[in-house]
């Protein structure tokens, strides 16, 4: 019993630090906080060093690293800049522009990591909107929320879906088909809610003339990256193992004479990989020491848990500790449900859509806010949350109703 309480206290303190994103008086981010948590578990003998490899989900870590390598090559080739430039020249109507933005970000976030899309697209959007004297806030909120919603549709859309995909064994196509309607509906909701909250911006008249910016493309790398990415998506649709296919695609892109490996590896978010590895160990300690089962018993979660109770639990937990730790904590519960496949898909929808509730709900939100802040554009907590709250309520309710009809 003493061991159970020690594990629980260390894990809770780790989760509080992750939720805050910092430790008072220290220069620590979420990755270092998770690693410090692992260190305390080792120090107090709650886990042993030889047990750590057993906690790690190698498939998920390999998938995440592989998608980062693929995204890095696409970014270095100029692919995302090219697509963004073409998109920005399609219309001068603010409502149509918003619709194009939401659809573009949603699709890109489904195919690639949503965090990467936010990192790449936010500076372009800011530069454009400020150059034509438009309020960037509604478009930035649309960017963050549509990135989260679009990523719901596929295993490769966001980190928590990668965990679910590898843990469940659900194929790429079987995952995407029931969740694609949820994403499409959600993107439509984002468009409507943003216009509802910012009517003045969308009644101001046409967007100003766009300034042409020269594009720097690495055409050989662009062609190779698109061929490899197209082959990878085809492999997904044909049912190839997602992690293995992604790793082989990443290796194909690393086999090159044109791009220095240092440039590719510089683009990789090593902190996110460290965070994932540490979180696998932290949540694994809960299961190994019997804490997880006791907590879920107290919460009333069982094999008979219904979709609404499970979704509400996921929503609350995702906003308390963030969606990746929430998914890791709820994995044992899903495996015990009468329909685990339905549970996995519900967990993917609820944990991802929960990220839109507040500015702190997902990494994608924070990326957009931080980049905007560096340009002296303040996207405040309440400014975001008043929109995110309505988006989350509508999309989550509609998504759960759809899943109740389609998979439960």
What is the pLDDT tens value at each position of the chain, 408 positions in all?
577 788 888 988 888 887 676 777 778 877 888 899 999 999 999 899 998 998 888 888 898 899 889 988 988 998 877 876 776 677 778 999 999 999 999 999 998 889 888 887 888 788 788 877 889 999 999 999 999 999 999 999 998 999 999 999 999 999 999 999 999 999 999 999 999 999 999 988 777 665 556 677 889 999 999 999 999 989 988 888 888 999 999 999 998 877 888 889 988 888 888 888 998 898 888 777 766 666 666 666 777 778 898 999 899 888 876 788 888 888 888 988 888 999 999 999 999 999 999 887 887 887 888 788 878 888 888 899 999 999 999 999 999 999 999 988
Q: Does residue 347 lie in a domain region?
A: yes
Of the candidates 203, 294, 211, 217, the one whose C-alpha atom is nearest the C-alpha of residue 258 is 217
Cα(33)–Cα(14) distance, integer angstroms = 6
Q: Does residue 150 lie in a domain region?
A: yes
What total number of domains does the chain contain? 1
> Which residues 6+ apart lie within 8 Å of 354 measured at CB?
314, 315, 318, 319, 323, 326, 361, 392, 396
> Does the model's pTM come out above 0.85?
no
Contact predicate 353/389, CB 8 Å: no
Of the candidates 246, 227, 251, 226, the one whose C-alpha atom is nearest the C-alpha of residue 235 is 246
Measure the N-to-C terminal CA separation of the chain; round to a whole number of Å: 37
Q: Does residue 185 lie in a domain region?
A: yes
Which residue segment(s) compose the domain that 321 sits in? 52-269+302-406
Helix, strand, or coil (residue 137): helix
DSSP 8-state assignment for residue 210: P
What is the number of H-type helices and E-type strands within the chain?
Answer: 20, 0
Q: Does residue 398 lie in a domain region?
A: yes
Of the candidates 327, 272, 324, 284, the one whose C-alpha atom is nearest the C-alpha of residue 48 is 284
Q: Does residue 41 lie in a domain region?
A: no
Identify the helix (H) or strand (E) that includes residue 331.
helix 323-336
Q: Both tokens of residue 359?
A: 């500015």
């Amino acid at each position: 019993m003493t061991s159970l309480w020690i594990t629980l206290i260390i894990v809770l303190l780790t989760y509080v630090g992750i939720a805050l994103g910092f430790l008072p008086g220290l220069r620590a981010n979420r990755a270092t906080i998770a690693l410090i948590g692992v260190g305390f578990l080792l120090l107090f003998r709650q886990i042993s060093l030889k047990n750590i490899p057993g906690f790690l989900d190698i498939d998920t870590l390999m998938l995440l690293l592989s998608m980062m390598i693929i995204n890095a090559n696409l970014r270095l080739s100029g692919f995302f800049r090219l697509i963004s430039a073409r998109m920005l020249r399609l219309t001068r109507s603010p409502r149509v522009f918003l619709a194009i933005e939401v659809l573009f970000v949603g699709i890109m976030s489904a195919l690639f990591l949503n965090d990467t899309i936010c990192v790449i697209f936010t500076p372009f959007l800011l530069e454009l909107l400020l150059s034509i004297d438009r309020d960037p806030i509604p478009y930035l909120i649309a960017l963050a929320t549509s990135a989260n919603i679009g990523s719901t549709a596929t295993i490769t859309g966001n980190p928590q879906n990668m965990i679910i995909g590898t843990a469940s064994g659900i194929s790429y196509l079987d995952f995407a088909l029931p969740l694609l309607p949820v994403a499409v509906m959600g993107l439509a909701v984002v468009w409507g809610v943003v216009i509802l909250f910012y009517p003045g911006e969308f009644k101001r008249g046409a967007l100003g003339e766009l300034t042409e910016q020269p594009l720097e493309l690495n055409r050989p790398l662009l062609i190779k990256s698109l061929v490899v990415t197209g082959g990878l998506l085809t492999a997904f649709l044909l049912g190839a193992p997602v992690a293995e296919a992604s790793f082989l695609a990443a290796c194909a892109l690393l086999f090159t004479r044109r791009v220095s490996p240092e440039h590719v590896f510089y683009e990789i978010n090593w902190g996110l990989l460290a965070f994932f590895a540490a979180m696998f160990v932290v949540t694994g300690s809960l299961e190994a020491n019997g804490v997880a089962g006791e907590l879920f018993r107290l919460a009333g979660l069982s094999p008979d848990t219904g979709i609404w109770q499970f979704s509400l639990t996921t929503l609350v937990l995702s906003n308390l500790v963030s969606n990746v730790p929430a998914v890791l904590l709820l994995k044992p519960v899903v495996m015990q449900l009468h329909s685990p496949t339905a549970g996995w898909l519900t967990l993917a929808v609820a944990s991802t859509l929960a990220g839109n509730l507040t500015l702190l709900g997902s990494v994608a939100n924070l990326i957009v806010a931080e980049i905007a802040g560096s340009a002296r554009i303040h996207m405040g907590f309440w400014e975001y949350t008043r929109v995110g709250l309505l988006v989350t309520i509508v999309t989550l309710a509609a998504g759960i109703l759809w899943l109740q009809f389609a998979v439960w």
